[in-house]
Amino acid sequence: MQLYQTKNYEEMSKKAAGIISAQVILKPDSVLGLATGSTPLGIYENLIDGYKNGDIDFTQVKTVNLDEYKGLGSENKQSYRHFMNSNLFDHVNINKENTNVPNGLEENIEFECDRYDNVLNDLAGVDLQLLGIGNNGHIGFNEPADSFTKGTHYEALAQSTIDANSRLFEECEVMPTSAYTMGIKTIMDAKTVLLVANGKGKAKAIKEALTGPITPKVPASILQMHKNLIVVADEEALSELNNNK
């Protein structure tokens, strides 16, 4: 594991964006696994700046997102497809046909999970998977469970995830309570995993994920077994880890 401690969110975002840019510069047709949520917003801003400055070219890049709320389509501004379009894809020279997000509107769970796994198979492997981490240690929407998941599946969201993510929904909006998500095995198959975290709220999850027992009760703990894990986190997110030294 390579661990980079940054002073704050801005530095975390810059550092992680630098790693993603390097991946694309070294391999212009990279397959990037992408995440949504508050943590990667600064990373995407930096990538957009990198594109505008002429440092990164997305024309050959392909992307595959971790997850999507079940029941939300691209026209819904809370959907992860909408998030990716408005926070990254609409601002860089990526071909939208090369971007993939599970289809939250697909009612047939088996069909959608098979379809997304086929998309992943056709891409022949994710070069770099960007991950945030939930307060409960989830990655993608793989919630604490009795066993590690494999491929794309339907997941009922944990109450702690609903509590954490409902902050992003307006009072009049109904937050979905389930999602489609890439499985843990798919995430582990990525050549490089880039885990990012900021803020005190993530300190316990980061400590458990990086130093605790490897258990599906803390899904991110499996990352300890990844051959090429890069962690970029700010001082606050690493505070419990540092206290432990």
**Catalytic residue list:** 67, 136, 138, 143
Q: What is d(CA 236, CA 201) in angstroms, rounded to the nearest whole number? A: 8
CB 144 within 8 A of CB 216: yes
Q: What is d(CA 92, CA 113) in angstroms, rounded to the nearest whole number? A: 28
Query: Could you say which residues in the range 27-46 bind ligand F6R, by CB under 6 A?
Result: 35-39
Between residues 139 and 222, which has the closer beta carbon with respect to ligand F6R? 139
39: nearest Cα among 90, 104, 83: 83
Q: What is d(CA 43, CA 18) in angstroms, rounded to the nearest whole number? A: 9
219: nearest Cα among 141, 155, 129, 159: 141
Cβ-closest position to ligand F6R: 132
Q: Show the site string, 81-120: x = touches ligand F6R by CB under 6 A, - = not.
A: ----------------------------------------
Which of 134, 137, 176, 183 contacts ligand F6R by CB under 6 A? Answer: 134
Distance of CA 114 to the CA centre of its chain: 20
Query: Could you say which residues in the range 47-66 bind ligand F6R, by CB under 6 A?
Result: 66
Which of 15, 62, 81, 138 contacts ligand F6R by CB under 6 A? Answer: 138
Which of 132, 137, 176, 219 contacts ligand F6R by CB under 6 A? Answer: 132
Instruction: Give the binding site for ligand F6R (CB under 6 A).
Output: 35-39, 66-67, 132-134, 138-141
